[in-house]
């Protein structure tokens, strides 16, 4: 997989305690990834109805049983706007421990952000907003505080007719 220099994206994430730099320096470095996401903001793919549900599904697997904490920090211009922390307990399935967060609701800030973004008339306007928007998600072992997975998300608007796309990069320090 391709690699990205972690120092090039430090400014997109909080720099104080719990920020990307501090987490990366503490390691383990092989747990750090960047996901570049091209969002499909065509009206057909996202509903505007008042009753529409905005949520996220995530699943993690492990060979060891532990309690995990998943912290999701939404950042604007590198500053944390909102943080959601969830705790998940293991379920033993097919010889592995599985952690599922199913239909975890997005916070009001995120829902409003998506709706406002969709109302912008031009893609270049959406991109200039998304350029300063990022998400840092950290999965830790609740008891040892060890970082198990750290994913930095950066966004742009998809210009492809294939809809949403993403690319995963390993974060490295040359």
Considering the domain 3-172 in this protein, what is its CATH number?
2.70.50.80
**H/E element, 23:** helix 20-26
pLDDT digits (tens, 9 = 90+) for 108-129: 888 888 888 888 888 889 999 9
pLDDT digits (tens, 9 = 90+) for 38-94: 988 775 555 556 667 888 889 999 999 999 999 999 999 999 999 999 999 999 999
pLDDT digits (tens, 9 = 90+) for 146-171: 999 999 999 998 877 777 788 999 99
Burial class (CB in 10 A: 0-12, 13-18, 19+), 50: exposed
């Amino acid at each position: 997989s391709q690699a990205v220099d972690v120092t090039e994206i430090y400014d997109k994430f909080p720099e104080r305690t719990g920020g990307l730099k501090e987490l990366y320096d503490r390691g383990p470095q092989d747990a750090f990834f960047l996901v570049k996401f091209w969002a499909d903001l065509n009206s057909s793919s996202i509903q505007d109805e008042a009753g529409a549900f905005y949520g996220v599904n995530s699943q993690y697997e492990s060979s060891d049983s532990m309690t995990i904490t998943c912290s999701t920090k939404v950042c604007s211009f590198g500053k944390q706007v909102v943080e959601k922390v969830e705790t998940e307990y293991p379920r033993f399935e097919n010889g592995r421990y599985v952690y599922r967060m199913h239909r975890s609701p997005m916070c009001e800030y995120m829902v409003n952000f998506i709706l406002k973004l969709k109302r912008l008339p031009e893609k270049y306007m959406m991109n200039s907003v998304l350029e300063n928007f990022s998400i840092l998600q950290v999965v830790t072992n609740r008891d040892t505080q060890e970082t198990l997975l750290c994913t930095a998300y950066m966004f742009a608007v998809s210009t492809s007719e294939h809809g949403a796309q993403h690319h995963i990069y390993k974060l490295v320090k040359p």
